[in-house]
Amino acid sequence: MLLAATLAGAVPTVASMAGAAAAAPSPGAYEVGGAPTTTRLGAERAAVPHRRPIERRAARDPKPTASSPKHTGWDRATLLVHVPGRGLAAHARPSGASSVIGSVAGASKYYRVPIVLWVSAHHHGWGRVELPYVWPRRTGWIRLAGLRRDRTFVHVDVDLSAHRVRVYKHDELRYTAPGATGSPSSPTPTGHYVVTDRVPFPSGGYLGTFAFGISGIQPHLPAGWSGGNQLAIHGTNAPSSIGTSASAGCIRVSEATLAFLKPLLRLGTPVVIHA
């Protein structure tokens, strides 16, 4: 299910899931190195981390494939910048003389949360960013002067072919769990996104108890769809769909996975979705 303005207070016009959200860990979910707490995740460990299965030992994380991303560089802090409410002009090159190719929104699509962006490269006071809520996906350069800055060592990797959600910190795998991805008719768009919203919901709904809105949109909406088009990582009341290609484009995860993600995924956290 995709995030929409209707979620702010009204019943959405389209719902494709039924049943109750499961609070138990998903089969195949496990944490690397211990219990899912902020304190443990923040600790540095020189030893090779061990795997502590959350449920079934037989359900192992698939080995990386040729399509898996290389995480070189994620061991360093990722620069995040806060976009002012008026938004920013995005240029084709790191120069004020270059053409303006678009604008960077100052607030999230439906909940109007101030945008925090991941800067993937910087050059002489300019930063390269992915433009939020734009299709086709494209990057642009913004002026960094005067922008509030933050840093993070956390990023999320969503492997569509394996139906896996992986969380890395300092380029070390800290958690992995299965997730539902877009159906064949509404596949999840690949791209480099950031978390733009952190939205709680009453327990038992079709989005589970929580949703992380991200900076992407679904260009291939299901036939007859009348809801929104913002992508998200959220819970579900159809836990049997987790690990399959079943959604309108969002990533569905278990309540246990949401509980692990909530302390870690701040606004601006990079989310890489790949085939």
78-152: CATH, from 2.30.30.40, 3.30.420.610, 3.40.50.300, 3.30.70.1400? 2.30.30.40
If we measure between CA atoms, which residue out of 1, 250, 230, 252 comes closest to residue 108?
A: 230
105: burial class by Cβ within 10 Å (0-12, 13-18, 19+)? buried
For 5-64+153-274, CATH gives 2.40.440.10
List the pLDDT tens digit at each of the 275 positions of the chain. 787 753 333 223 223 222 223 334 556 776 665 433 332 222 222 222 333 333 333 234 444 443 444 445 688 899 999 999 999 999 999 999 999 999 999 999 999 999 999 999 999 999 999 999 999 999 999 999 999 999 999 999 999 999 999 999 999 999 999 999 999 999 999 999 999 999 999 877 899 999 999 999 999 999 888 889 999 999 999 999 999 999 999 999 999 999 999 999 999 999 999 99
Structure confidence at residue 22 (pLDDT): 33
If we measure between CA atoms, which residue out of 239, 189, 233 comes closest to residue 211?
A: 233
Structure tokens belonging to residue 240: 């049997």
Q: Which helix (H) or strand (E) holds 41?
A: helix 38-42
- Rounded Cα distance between 147 and 92, Å, is 19
Instruction: Please list, in sequence order, all residues whose beta carbon lies within 8 angstroms of the beta carbon of residue 212, skipping any fewer than 6 positions away.
Output: 195, 197, 198, 199, 232, 233, 234, 261, 265
Domain-by-domain residue ranges, the chain? 5-64+153-274, 78-152
If we measure between CA atoms, which residue out of 194, 193, 199 comes closest to residue 111?
A: 199
Structure confidence at residue 247 (pLDDT): 96
CA 169 to chain centre: 15
Distances (CA, A) of 243 to 10, 57, 158, 164: 29, 17, 12, 7
- Rounded Cα distance between 86 and 143, Å, is 14
Whether residue 100 contacts residue 91, with contact meaning beta carbons closer than 8 Å, is answered with yes
pTM for this structure? 0.80
Distances (CA, A) of 150 to 15, 154, 261: 37, 12, 19
Pairing of strands 30-32, 51-53: antiparallel
Pairing of strands 149-152, 126-130: unpaired
If we measure between CA atoms, which residue out of 216, 198, 202 comes closest to residue 262?
A: 198
Whether residue 231 contacts residue 191, with contact meaning beta carbons closer than 8 Å, is answered with no
Structure confidence at residue 227 (pLDDT): 81
